[in-house]
Chain A
C-alpha cells in the first residue's frame, strides 16, 4: 500500500519564477493538505482540498494556489518566488477531515 508520494524531491528555482509541486494521496484517502516547513520550524498549514475544492486556507498569500484532481491527487503552485519561500513542502492526506493525517516525504524547494 503506497503512502503519500510527492514529486519532485528537490528543486532549485530563481526568484520570480513559478513552481509546481505534485502529490498523490495514500490509497483510499480523499482529503489533501499542504504544509510549508521552514528550517528549524514546525510545518505551517497552507490549504486543504476536498472534492476538488479548497476547503480551508492558512495565512499564506495568493501567490500560493492549488488544485485537486478527480483522482484526489493534488498540485501546489507558487508564483513570483521569493527567497523566503525556500522550505520543505509537505503534502498530507486523510480520509475526510477528521481522520488520521499522513505525510509524504516532502519536496525541498530552494529559491536563489
Chain B
C-alpha cells in the first residue's frame, strides 16, 4: 500500500461546478497537509497549507483534513476553465520531506 493514495482521474466537470478532490494516507505521523496545483509542464504551485485536522478556506478553495480517517479533501467552488490542471496532495511529518499523491487531473469545460 502506497503511503498516499490519490485517484489520477481525469475528472471532468462543467464550468461553475463544485469540485471535490481527495487523498487518503496511511502514515499517522503526517502533521502538515498541502495541496499543489500543477499546470502542464510547469512546477507545482502551492494552493493550500493546513496543519492537523480541520478546515481552511481561501477564496474559492477549501481544504479539509480528517486525521482520524486519514483523509484530506480540496473543494473548489464555482470552478473555472482556468482551474484545469493536475492537483497534487502532499503531506509530511514535522521534520521530514514531502510525500505526494500521484495527482488528479481536473478538466473544467466552458
* A contact residues vs B (CB 8 Å cutoff): 4, 6, 33, 35, 40-45, 48, 56, 58, 88, 90, 92, 97-98, 100-106, 108
Contacts and interface: CB of A to CB of B under 8 A. Distances in A.
Contact of A43 (B6, B45, B98): B98
B60 interface: no
Interface string B4-27: 101010000000000000000000
Interface string B40-52: 0111111001000
A43 B97 contact: no
A40 B97 contact: no
B56 to A, nearest CB: 13
Nearest to B97: A45
A56 B92 CA distance: 13
Given A103-B36, A104-B43, A42 B101 contact: yes
A102 B46 contact: yes
Interface residues of B, number: 24
Contact of A103 (B43, B49, B97, B99): B43
Contacts of A58: 97
B97 A33 contact: yes
A87 B44 CA distance: 14
A56 B100 contact: no
Given A4-B43, A35-B98, A45-B98, 4 more contacts: A6-B43, A102-B46, A103-B44, A103-B45
B88 interface: yes
